[in-house]
Amino acid sequence: MVKRNKPMRKKTECPFAQNLKTVLSDRGITQKAASELAGVTPTTLNDWLSGTQPSDPLAVQKLARALGCEFEWLLTGSSSSLDLAKLSLSELFDVVDEPSFSGLFQIEAKRLKRR
């Protein structure tokens, strides 16, 4: 009887593995919790941390959102060219016409200026 092994994905030094380790460590998130956030098995997440390139970009995107980091940075180590500091609030947010609270309030507004 011949035992057939699944083809192994190439394990290389990649920014993804290092960035993932850094984010999980910084946020104190376990591998099991991270695998649940990404919707993958703990084995898959462990493979990613060992240098296996991910084959499911949607799982990586889901994980990046849950961890609060950029998808592009998580995968490649580089950030997008979009500079959020230069965007106005109207470019970053949509106005929601429905009230988010009701009742009587005294509201004080202060002007903000960019640093």
Q: Each residue of 16-46: pLDDT tens digit? A: 999 999 999 999 999 999 999 999 999 999 9
Q: CATH: 1.10.260.40, 3.20.20.10, 3.20.20.80, 3.30.200.20. Which one for 15-76?
A: 1.10.260.40
Q: At CB < 8 A and 24+ separation, what contacts does 55-62 make?
A: 55/9, 60/16, 62/37, 62/38
Q: What is the pLDDT of residue 9?
A: 56
Distances (CA, A) of 100 to 71, 75, 89, 110: 30, 36, 18, 20
pTM (two decimals): 0.59
Q: What is the mean pLDDT of the chain?
A: 82
Q: Using one digit for the tens of pLDDT, what is the confidence trace for 53-70?
A: 999 999 999 999 999 888
The answer to whether 31 and 45 are in contact (CB under 8 A) is yes
CA 14 to chain centre: 17
